[in-house]
């Protein structure tokens, strides 16, 4: 029997909701098919679900922190409407081409390390799920299990790097959650 993960880190855009590029308004939020059910399955298994997302639109001046927070609140409300919830969200507002001291942008591990500390997690027993290599490579740097899912934003470079790094792959979030929960005897099977 496998040990259930202490937490699952999920990328947001392209993993749980559609990636509409620089979403600044709540009405732009669209959950991906099956995403709420997948998150709910993790909730039912009593596994914390933590969003870790790059939001360079803030650094680019395309939207404000307040607009990001309104989108986040609506996103979480849509999940709650379907019986699912997020335990915490971490975001990085920095630009990809402007590395700064303390830049928290993925593929860096700063946001993951903060969540691991905040939730007192065993880094060897967490999972990272996202649609880009940068979302899951922390599994090789910090420990744990990485699963890269397919989305319209997943590039051939992402796929090649994931293969080279021994990262598991799944067709989508629902399949990734099945992979994480398969073989656990203490997991609810409610639908």
Indicate the SS3 state at residue 126.
strand
Q: By CB neighbour count within 10 A (0-12 exposed, 13-18 middle, 19+ buried), where does 85 fall?
A: middle
Catalytic residue among 6, 13, 19, 135: 13
Paired tokens of 122: 């065993």
Told to judge if 131 belongs to the known catalytic residues of this protein, a careful annotator would answer: no
Told to judge if 11 belongs to the known catalytic residues of this protein, a careful annotator would answer: yes
Residues β-bridged to residue 170? 149
Residues β-bridged to residue 10? 51, 129
CA atoms within 13 A on the CB side of 153: 18
Pick from 161, 165, 125, 129: nearest CA to 143:
125
Range 38-47 burial, b when 16+ CB lie within 10 A, else e: bbbbbbbbeb
Catalytic residue among 11, 19, 131, 135: 11
Distance of CA 186 to the CA centre of its chain: 23
Return the active site residues.
11, 13
């Amino acid at each position: 029997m496998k040990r259930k993960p202490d937490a699952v880190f999920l990328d947001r855009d392209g993993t749980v909701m559609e990636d509409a590029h620089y979403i600044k308004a709540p009405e732009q939020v669209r959950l991906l098919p099956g995403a709420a059910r997948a998150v709910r399955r993790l909730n039912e298994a009593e596994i914390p679900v933590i969003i870790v997302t790059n939001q360079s639109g803030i650094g680019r001046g395309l939207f404000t922190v307040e607009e990001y927070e309104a989108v986040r609140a609506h996103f979480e409300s849509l999940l709650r409407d379907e019986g699912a919830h997020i335990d915490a969200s971490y975001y990085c507002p920095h630009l990809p081409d402007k590395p700064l001291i303390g830049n928290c942008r993925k593929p860096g591990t700063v946001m993951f390390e903060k969540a691991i500390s905040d939730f007192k997690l065993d880094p060897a027993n967490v999972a990272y799920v996202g649609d880009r290599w940068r979302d899951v490579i922390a599994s090789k740097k910090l420990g744990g299990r990485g699963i890269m899912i397919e989305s319209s934003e997943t590039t051939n470079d992402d796929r090649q790097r994931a293969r080279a790094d021994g990262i598991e792959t799944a067709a989508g979030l629902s399949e990734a959650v099945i992979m994480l929960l398969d073989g656990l005897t203490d997991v609810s099977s409610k639908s």
